[in-house]
Structure 1
Amino acid sequence: MNHDEYTEMTARLDRYASVPDDVLAEAVTRDGLCFWAFDRTDMPELTGDDPPDRELAARLCAGCPVIDECLELDLRTAGANTVGVWGALPDTDRRALYPVWRRSRGGEVR
């Protein structure tokens, strides 16, 4: 992904800027496909040591109705320390997106 794609993604997430964390978390856990559509025993374990896996992220999140909410929640709560798949992105992409997202919200990158 490139900077323009991160900027576009950040602009899309701006609609959630005023949504409280608990509301986002409720939507993600209630409606997120990863929380109910997969047999947990069949899901690969994501340790954070795995190589970036865009294919896995795309497969796990395909058709999920709360991808943006999930991504926003992870950026808020994990920030640069993210691991696994959230918002249809592997952790390496979210780490690169994080500073762009922080700056768009008027914050300094932590």
Structure 2
Amino acid sequence: MTEHTYTEIAARLDRYTDIPNDVLTNVVTRDGLCFWAFDREGMPELTGDDPPDRELAARLCAGCPVIDECLELDLRTAGANTLGVWGALPDTDRRALYPVWLRRRGGEAR
């Protein structure tokens, strides 16, 4: 992804600026496909043959109605310390997005 792409994503998330964390959490856990569409008991263990993070993110989040809310929540709560797949992005992309998102919110990247 490019800096321009991260800027576009961060701008798209601006609409969630005033929504409290607890509201975002409720929406993501209620409507997020990853919270109810997968039987965690039956999920295979990850192995060395697993798909790359971008591919995994695309598969897990395909069609999810709360991708942006999920991404916003992760940026707020995990920031640069993010892990896993949130908001259809792997952690490497979210780490690159975080300082762009933070500057839009009037903060400085740490």
* Fold in common (TM above 0.5): yes
Aligned to 2:99: 99
Q: Where do 4+ consecutive residues of structure 1 move more than 2 Å?
A: 41-46
Equivalent residues of 1:71, 1:86 under 8 A apart: yes
How far, CA to CA, are the matches of 1:44 and 1:82 in structure 2? 23
Write the deviation string for residues 45-81 of structure 1: whole angstroms up to 9, x where unpaired: 67xxx99510000000000000000000000000000
> Which of the two has higher C-alpha Rg?
2
Aligned to 1:66: 66
How far, CA to CA, are the matches of 2:45 and 2:80 in structure 1? 20
CA drift at 1:39: 1.1
Aligned length: 107
Cα RMSD between the aligned structures?
1.7
Matched-pair identity in %: 82
How far, CA to CA, are the matches of 1:100 and 1:63 in structure 2? 26
The correspondence of residues 39-78 of structure 1 with structure 2, limited to 5 A, is 39-43=39-43, 53-78=53-78
Aligned to 1:30: 30
TM-score by length of 1: 0.91
Gaps of 5+ in 1: none
CA drift at 1:42: 3.9
How far, CA to CA, are the matches of 2:42 and 2:3 in structure 1? 34
TM-score by length of 2: 0.91
Equivalent residues of 1:61, 1:67 under 8 A apart: yes
Aligned to 1:79: 79
Q: Secondary structure at the match of 2:40?
A: coil
Equivalent residues of 1:32, 1:65 under 8 A apart: yes
> Quick one: which amino acid aligns to residue 2 of structure 1?
T
